[in-house]
Structure 1
């Protein structure tokens, strides 16, 4: 995997569902479900919706959601792709730290599990 490309996004996009203000509003409980999935499975990742194959019609261009990465970093729960990118020295932690104040870093509720 090209981790440099996969972690090319340095800040959440304006529609990022992880944003505290102004992001895409998901169905009730959906963001908690996404957070829970990421926290329960270190191998999982959440890809930016703007880079998915369904949107771009191209393979191999998907990128990790910067909002999701900032959420994980804020909660000291970097997933395995993030840790591998760190090992390869291609994950910009300072940029992700700058994004933390923009995202909802609260842990998912126990409800709707």
Structure 2
């Protein structure tokens, strides 16, 4: 992956909502060395929670978000650093993406508000 998918929750333009609690849970996971996988590569056939498979890929939006917000960028997360070493993505693929949230507060507020706006339209 070299760019976030169109429905990536880390993109400002996404029009579905995460609850503030879910947004905080995602942030806690990625700052505490957990992998965050692209929802398109997670198996949801047996559970709403989903199951990570050998085909599951990292969420590139989360990688870019860490690059934008955390000292050390995506390398600050052990799982992301491991995937970088396995060459699942390259540092050259990382760029400042204007559509990706630039702070934790912006992600929590935006992920909730964008979905609310979409429901009202």
Aligned to 1:102: 99
Partner residue of 2:116? none
Higher RCO (CA < 8 A, seq sep 6+)? 2
Alignment correspondent of 1:51 = 41
Q: Give the alignment's TM-score, normalised by structure 2.
A: 0.64
Name stretches of at least 5 consecutive residues in structure 2 with no aligned partner: 46-50, 107-121
Q: Which has the larger radius of gyration?
A: 2
For 2:7, the equivalent position in structure 1 comes to 15
Name the residue aligned to 2:22. Answer: 30
Rounded to whole Å, the distance in 2 between the matches of 1:107 and 1:38 is 11
Query: How large is the Cα RMSD of the aligned pairs?
Result: 2.9
Tell me the matched-pair count. Answer: 99
The equivalent residue for 1:71 is 65
Q: TM-score, normalised by structure 1?
A: 0.68
Counterpart in the other structure of 1:4: none
Q: What is the alpha-carbon distance in structure 1 between the residues aligned to residue 30 and residue 90 of structure 2?
A: 20
Query: Helix, strand or coil: the match of 2:11?
Result: coil
- Aligned partners of 1:83 and 1:105: how far apart in 2? 20
Which residue is 1:91 aligned to? 89
